[in-house]
Structure 1
Amino acid sequence: MTCGDFLLFLSVIALTACSDPPLRYRAVSGEVFMMPCEEWFRVGSHRHSAAKEDFAPFKAETADSGNYTCYIRRVWRDFLLQVDNKTMECSSPEENRETLEIGVEGTITCPGHDCSSGTPTVWYKGNKSVNELKKRGISVIEGRLRLHTVNKHDNAVFFCDRVLSEQGVNWTMRRSVTVKALISLVKKPPRILSPRDHTEEVELGTDYTLRCETYFPQADPPGDVRWFMKSSGHLVNLTMEKLEVDELEREIRAIGKATLKKVTDQDLNRKYTCIAQNTSGNKRATILLKKKNIAHWSSLVEYALGPLLLVTCLTIVLRVKWLEIQIILKSRWTFGKTDIGHKDFDVLLSYVWRTSSTEQISPPVRHRKDDSAFPFKLDPLAVEVPSKRPELLLPHVLEDQWGYRLCLMERDYLPGGAYTEEVADAIQRSQMLICLLSPEYLSDNNAVFVLESAVQALLQNSGIKLQLIWTNTAPCPLLHLEPPLPVVVQKALKVLPALKWTSAANAKFWRNLRKAMPHQRVSSLPKSF
């Protein structure tokens, strides 16, 4: 006994020292019994029964006789339980079960009621007194419990208590009645769903199971389901497997099975009869067996066709998805394997200016390294930018705050040159391409050309890394763009790593972007992020 149990036991002894006389209950061995307590434990036991499951009904045995401590009506009381080996005289086991019909009136009689000397009977449904259930129509008449309307919740165990006096000592005799509420009590013969008097094909040399699916009314449960074989004018009883029984809402389904071992020619053309019966009658169904014609070449075709279809499907999937698979593999594992230490730029930033009639913004220029102003301060000639647009913020963060060597086409390449050659040169000189995607970007031929060239370079093992940033809340639809995007760009937009930029990029965005950047000895993330 633990210290806690010992203290609890002492407190119980103190509380019960001057309490009422002990409760005395008698039960019948083999019957369902339930302690009339909210909490209890057996005197001398080290296990304290405090869990709800311990208060469920249980089958009483003589070994359960003994002294208990019971917590009832907010008071601890001594409790004496005596379990008898046999029932009272003129009481039968049938009185412990009752079947009622749902929707009509029903009466439950306490076992041994006719033997009692007219003492009052108190009824309980589970651990609740029927006095608490009067609203639903329950009354006690001459010791019998009357349910005005039986419902499905009456599938329960009811207890009846009577006071008996022996040698001046009062005992409460508790008996139980297990009630089963059925939808209908009408008794009728079973019905057989299958088989339905027909012929079934079997393969010679294999086992075949005869299956008889039968339905019985709940009021008249299954008596027997058996299979018979008619041979030389006589019915031969077949060896049955264990009957499978399931209780449904209105009926009981029973499935009887008998297995024929290694079917031979002698088993063919014989009649096999299933007979299902109960106390109301019986039903039967008969089937014949015939040889099943098997085309042996079909199995060879099936074995060959299965792998062929699998290979064909895999080939089609690979052909459709091969470009996407290549882009995924290249973007994940190619970057970092080539010699990129001597490239001129860390990042090539590609974007399209989005200006309105009320906002005129200058392109970003390189800041002085000793600039101590706000980390995202723009060029003095530019207006202040309360919206913190990505095409303005990213150059300053990447270049001035994180110290990356940034390549901007409009700044680092002189106007008037061959644009295609300048794009190819910028991609070859950069470790990474960052694209600020927007509907304007995907509608701009020059911007799409930069992304397409970078993807082609990636597929050719250039070692460049691609990172997409969507500047609206969700990727714009690709099917309605004019002009339509190249196929390689459409595939890349589906599988390349992408981040989402909101109106106010949070710390999570900047952390994810920092993780995606090329490795370089740079200062830590500014506290403003």
Structure 2
Amino acid sequence: MNLMFFLLIFITETATEKLCPLRASIDVLEGEYFYLCFPESKLQHSWKEEYAINWYKESAGRQKRIKETHRIVSQMNFLEFWPAELGDSGNYFVTQSSGKRNFTIQKWTLNVLERNRSSCFNQNHLTTEIQNAGTGHSLKCNDLSVNANDSITWYKDCKNYENERGRELDFKTLSVQHSGIYTCKISISHEGKIYHSTNTIRLVVEEDAPETVTLEIVGRNEEIQTEIGKEETLNCTGFLGYYIQEDANLYWWFNDTFPKECSGIPEADPPICEEDLKKSHLGNKFYITRLLRIKKVREEDLHHNFTCTLQADEITHVKVVKLKKDGKEYDAFVSYLKDCVSTSKEEREFALRILPMILEENFGYKLCIFERDVSPGGAVVDDIHSFIDKSRRLIIILSQNYISDRAIYELESGLHKALVEKKTKIILIEYMPIRDYNFLPESLSLLPSKRVVKWKKDKSLPVNSRFWKNLRYLMPAKPTKSNTKGHCLNLDLGSEGTQPWSGGCDFNTVI
């Protein structure tokens, strides 16, 4: 009986050791099942004392004991997330305590990454494996299963891969054509719901390596298309050859200065920081990598180079990365009812004064309003097409009388770019309540309903109203200006000044 008891403990601890990698920093995708755990062998066993296991989260310098919820469940040496959310990012630690002693068993930094809505994986949540052609190889799915019968699906470049269902993807003989991005998705059933856990691997298959090896930075100088306010991660990887070089160093340099190191706590990191140098041994080749993280791209970041330098064996290689706006001149083209169709002054006032006053003067957007910004004398149809093409969004101020010869062309041109070319996103502002949408093209029904915001006159006027919050959410990302807090525009009096607003204008307050 005693032998069986100790054998059971040994088997359990051996399995747990295999399931609990001792990584200090862990990345996980939002919306996926995940767990933190520690090997039971780390517990201080005492047969005479009772002890308790407590899990804690540290965020913004404050420690808080984790209480079980329907979503976060602790089971002895496991802390499960059903599923992980962005707010779960932070530092975690687990303690063992009794009446006499209290000590920390293990610590982690958990980074919950935002899911890429347009792809089956996140570029920051993958590993790279480099192999030579002609050899055999297996891609392994990280095992976060809780049941042996959990289903597994493999994808290559986000397409179902040959109906493979095993925990390993075996290649008897690799060829260059096998190169690609492979994603393994585990489907886990829990309390009547299906959760997923994914693992993505970039497989690079190269021809047989030449006898002579050149130390170099992988990739050439590049320009990255971006937008102001967008988060960017710059990757620099150096190839060291077929043996590790201890003196090799890789570092970033920009604006005549070295970036600070990332702390591992996202909210505490400086605007631009570089991660620790990582060394990797892929196949029979050695690489070093260093990432540069930019929280929010600023206008000034577009005016200098980001330089990555590789130094080893008295050899220096340099790679230059430039950030460049994505070619759009305007944040939005504004289409509205023209005076030749209606004598309504309210819509013209909204389109030509209220909308630009708040979006441009308070939030830093650049709008294209045809009557205001386009010089007369050109070909109207060609001009409209050109300016919509230069805009990231098409704002349509919709009313029952909206359609005219020019307005319908603006709408149809925008719909073509949104639904066919996928170059421009449309935002519909329902300026007046509309009961019947039959006067609009049928293709408009293909747009997501969430891209419609409703103007409610006086209720929507304050800068902190739900209308402006929803509209800004649909617009390209822009840094918030300080003068939007604590004041609202006095639009009713026709003034461009500001006056105190009793509710405040912080966007956490929504009217």
Same fold by TM-score greater than 0.5: no
Higher strand share: 2
TM-score by length of 1: 0.28
TM-score normalised by length of structure 2 = 0.28
The structure number with the bigger radius of gyration is 1
Bigger fraction of residues in helix: 1
